[in-house]
Every structure is written in C-alpha cells, then in structure tokens.
Structure 1
Amino acid sequence: MLIARLLAETATLAGKLDAARSELLDHGWPVAMAETVISGEDAIELLLPEGEAGVVRSILGRHFAPCDLLVTDRPIAAPQLFVSDMDSTMIGQECIDELADYAGIKPQIAAITERAMQGELDFRSALRERVALLAGLDEGAIARCLAERIRPMPGAKTLVATLKGLGCDTVLVTGGFHAFADPVAEELGFDRVVGNRLAVASGKLTGYLDGPVSDSATKARTLAVEAERLGAGTVSLAMGDGANDVPMLQAATFGIAYHAKPKAREAADGWIERGDLTAVLELLGIAKEDWTRG
C-alpha cells in the first residue's frame, strides 16, 4: 500500500486529480481512495494498493506541479527524530558563498558550490578548494556575514518548534561551518549541531579546516547514530536540498527534498517546491492548531 499526500492549488485540484488517476490506472495502479487531510484545506491523500513509489511521485509531480508531496509505503506519523541540512534548507543562503563576498570572490566560490550541490564535484575536494580560497580573510567577516546576510527560511522556526513540542529530537547537520551553524541552531531551536570548523590563526582564516570533514557520509551516520540512540522503530525525518544530502534522505523514514537539486529530489520520498517549511507539517498530518509558531 502506498500513501501519497500532496498540497496543491485547490482551484484546479479536481481536474488534475482525474488526469493523474487515469495515468496511474494505465500503469495498473488504481487509486483506492482520495480524501482531504485534516492538516490543511489544500492537502489531499491518495491510497494505492500497489505501485512503484518513484513512478507515482513522478506522475503526481507532473500533474500537480508545483506541489508539495510525500509518497511512502509506511504509515505517516510525526517523527521522533529530525535531521536537517542547513544551507538553502533551514536558511536561505549558502554561507560559504556569502562569506566569500567579503573576500571579493563570491562568483568564483558560488560556481564551485553549485556544482558540488548538483553532484558534479566531489564534495570533500570542493569544500577544501573553497576554504583554501578564503585564506587571509579576517575572522570578523564571519560575524558580519551572520548579522548582515544569514536569514532563516520562512517557516523554519515553526517547523522546529512544533516538532520539538511533539517530543522530537532535532539535529542540524551541515557541510558548512559551526561558526554559522551554532548560532543558526540556537535561533531555530535545534538540540545539536554537526558541521565543519574553519581554522583561524592570528585573527585570519588559514584556508584549512580544523578537524574532520562533515560530508554526506557524516550526515547519514549522524541520522543512524541518533536513531539508534532513540531505539528501535524510531520514526526519522531528514531534509536537504543538495547531492550531499542524498544518503541521509535515503536512510530516513521520510526523506524530504526542499526546493532541491535534481539528485536530492530523486532520492527523497517527497519534496517541497510550492510552500515554505511549514508544508512539511501539513504533509505529516499535523493540524495547524497544534503548531507552535516560531
């Protein structure tokens, strides 16, 4: 049994639903039930006795685009563990790109970032290359960048606060840097942070990392360790937008790609492409009166 939940424009919902059901039936996958979900007026749920989740996502994604979507063969429930990427997921920026602007090299670094997030470059090598280009930048640029450039994604505070209010453990895990992630996590309410550290000497960035690299394997490992700590049967939610989030998205009970690059979207159980981060709460079936507004 597949469960598909989606958020789409109500004005055209009926016609799009008929077309999607017809295409699903062409694959031999009848829709057993279609009904609204308590979490929102524009949320509907489809039940399919059989089907391939990836193909069902593709069909629904085409017919209802733009939409927010989750397709899974598991009962949908609020998670006990939430592990999220930071850059372009919980915040609207790529921190290293913004920091590079204070060194006058944003276009050069942003181009490398984009290719790494698309999965065209090895993440570790691309990270070290970008960090090396920042050598000599005054450490004070980090605080300025935080104050002047870094902002939470719409809905981020409400998402984290609501999940925590339901007893969920929350971890911010990033291929970016603690210098940004720690204050972001404090602002948003995350319980724990995993990330990289920029090496500093005499008040200047050295162009090196201080300690091990936090990468895609780190993200997946963090989710596994935290889920094991919470115990068997832990329902986990992972979110991210780039290729380095793929292993984490695949390992979670529910992996959701947020306004994501193609590789992350393909790997996830669903995606947000229409709404803000509170759309995740709607897809999980958490009624709006139960949200904790951040």
Structure 2
Amino acid sequence: MANSLSVRRSSGLGLGAIALAAFLWSVAAIVASRLFQNGVTPSQLATARATIAAIGLGLFYLRGKPLNRQTFRLDKRGIGLGISLAMVTFTYYVAIDRLSVAIALVIQYTAPAIVVLVSAARKRRFPDLVMLLASGIALLGVALVSGLGAGELRLDTVGLIGAILSAIFFAGYTLFSDAMVQDFGAIGVMFRGFLISSLFWLGVQVSQGFPAAVFQPANLPGILFTGIGGTLIPFCLLCWGIQQVSVERATIAATLEPVMAAVLAWLLLGQTLTPLQIIGSGLILAAVTSLQLWQSRLK
C-alpha cells in the first residue's frame, strides 16, 4: 500500500514537473516574440538559448567530476538528442514563417501521437486504447486553442515540411531523452544534448557574423530568461518528469503548453480567448487528467 502511494505521488510530481515546463515554455514564447520585434533573429536566439543552457548545465553537471573521457561520454543517442534540440526550434520558426501559426502548431503537436506509436512499435504491441484516445483528444484541443479554422489557411510546401519536421524533432528529443536518462540522469542528458546543440548553432552563427542585437542592454534580460527559464530549467523538468511517468504520458502532458500560452497572451498581451479556445483548453486538460487517473487505477 505504501509503495503504491509512493508510486502515485512520484507520478503526480512527474506530471507537475512537465506542467511547469510547459508554463515556462509558454512564457518564453512571449518573451521571444518581443525579442524578434527588437531585432533579434530566430537563429541568434536559438544560438543564445542553446549556449546559455549548455554553460549552465555544464557548471552544474561537471562540478566535482573528473574531466575525462568518461565524464563527456557521448554516443549516437546523445548526438541524435543534440540535433533534435537544435532543429526543433528552427523548423518551427520556418513553419510559422510560411504557414499560419494554427496549422504549424497543430502539426507540431502530432508529436505525442508519434511517440505513442514509436513506443508501441519498439515494445511490439498495440498502443493502449487510453493512450490513443488521450493523444487524439489532446491534438483536437491543440487545434482549437491554436485557432485552426478561425482564418484563411495558407499552405506552403516548405512550411508544411518544416512543420512536419518540427513534430518529428519534438518526438525525437523526447524519445532520445527517455533512452538516455537512466544512464546519465536528467542533468547529464540535457548537458550532452545542449552541448551538441550549442556547437551546431555557434557554427551557424559564425557564418552570419557577430549577433549585435543579442548583446543590446534592452534585450539581455529576455535573452537570459529564454536561455535559463525558457530552456535550461524546463528541459530538465521534462527529462526528470519522463523518469517518473511513461514517455507517452509525458509528451501528451506537454500539450499543456498551448493552453498556457493562450492564457498568458490573454493576460499579458490583451489577446482574447474565443469559446473554441476555451473548449480546446478543456479538452487538453481532460486528456492529461484522464491519463493520471488511468495510471493511478493500474497501480
């Protein structure tokens, strides 16, 4: 009985950590939009956030550890994680530049369904019905929250490819994190991922020249928040949360992000919530809650 209670408490904490990560990502999205208005480019912001996260994680993870090959051990999973982290933001920016935000967001959040299907294929079994239903309900909720159907659709081949790739990379970094977390721990996994991601983006930035906009005094607070509060902390929370719950449940819980983004846009930017967006928020919350109740009954 005590063990069952401990498992439920751990599962609840895991989902809570993922919900907090989603909240921080939604705040970072608003901060990023303001940075773009102030002249910071998407690639500059991607470079800054990855570099800040890598340095912060490195200081914490490497403290007291010998600086040898074992400490920096990296395998194909770590490289895959780093590339996924580097590309998920870039492909999403391409998508929203070419498509309506609604379409881009809905396509990106097919990632939970991808994770459910990939996990089921690896385990050689049919996905749990509850998982499939929760994925579908959450995706419908994201579609409503993002405002799909509220305006004219702008279809573009490059944009569609970008949106599809963003979903794949979203699912990819979740699956790679799940595969590595038992070996390296949440901090160790994220350090390796963002080390590769930052090296990738620094290479890109070298070809584009010095990012003067990043170091403007007015932009520095937003840059630091995006790197620490919008990248380092939430990705570690997600990785830790995956340890507490299944990877499928973790990615479905991450669909809370558009709900929180919509609420924050209403509170901070004066954007109104339509009845359909409120319904969509309810659907996402219902999907996440149903997963927690279902898991509790299995214990």
TM-score (normalised: structure 2) = 0.28
TM-score (normalised: structure 1) = 0.28
Which of the pair is proportionally richer in strand?
1
Which of the pair is proportionally richer in helix?
2
Question: Which structure has the larger Rg over C-alpha atoms?
Answer: 1
With a CA cutoff of 8 Å and minimum separation of 6, indicate the structure with the bigger relative contact order.
Answer: 2
